Amino acid sequence: MRHVWTDEHEKYIRNNIKGKTKKEMTEMFNKEFGTDVTTDKMKGFCSRKRIRSGVDCKFKKGVPSWNKGKSFPSRGRSAETQFKKGQKPDNTFPLGTIKITTDGYKFIKIKKRGSKNECWKQYTHYLWEQKHGPVPKGYCLIHLNQNRSDCSEENIALVSRKELVRINKLNLTSTDRDLTKAGINFVKLLHKQKEVKDKINAAKWHGISTIQIQHTRQDTYRDTAWITTARC
């Protein structure tokens, strides 16, 4: 039942709450006015009206909690489902376990304890690191046939993240490994062309001979012809 607070109630609480807990104040209030206000209602009213008792109810350092050293027996069938000492949960995977995520990536468990990222490593990266070492900064591994579960060595390629952006932008990936390889080489050549063009522009400012520039252009055009033939 909703309680209607009056000015008289507020005045009584303000005059008597100092040094008392909300529970004690609630008992005094109900005895004085013959009401059945709960402790929660008293807390809410005092909070809205900014009435403070001055009592610090926080745990003090060194004070034991009320349930220290007490045991609480299991009730009902709860004991049947409790973990026993030394028991491992059913979802505990041994080292070397390989699992596949919902988006098709394989992960292998490499560590027993730690965070998820510490215990599990993408299987593609794991196999690569066993043979080639860590993936260089700024580079990533891609699956040539777009099958994320196919982690065979011939299906993995190392590309820079800049190259990957251009590969995706030009839609140069395919379910055919050879076509994807050709697309990667094509993007590498585009980056090489830009690099050569930047060198030529820089050379003009530094007075390098025209013959050296022509040799650089001829090498680039020869590579372009080879890549174009591979794509066809």
Query: The whole model's pTM is what?
Result: 0.50
Position 48 scores a pLDDT of 93
Q: Is the pLDDT of residue 115 over 80?
A: yes
| Torsion angles phi and psi, residue 161, rounded to 5 | -65, -30
2, pLDDT greater than 90: no
- Residue 156, classed as helix, strand or coil, is strand
Asked whether the beta carbons of 151 and 106 are under 8 A apart, the reply is yes
Residue 81: predicted pLDDT: 80
| Spatial distance between the Cα atoms of 98 and 78, rounded to a whole number of angstroms | 33
**pLDDT digit string, tens, across residues 153-191:** 999 999 999 999 999 999 999 999 999 999 999 999 998
pLDDT value for 14: 93
- Dihedral of the CA atoms 187, 192, 198, 203 (nearest 10)? -160
CA 150 – CA 28 distance, rounded (Å): 75
CA 178 to chain centre: 34
Q: Which of 91, 94, 123 is nearest to 107 (CA)?
A: 123
Report the distance separating Cα 182 and Cα 170, nearest Å. Answer: 13
Which one is predicted more confidently, 59 or 34?
A: 34
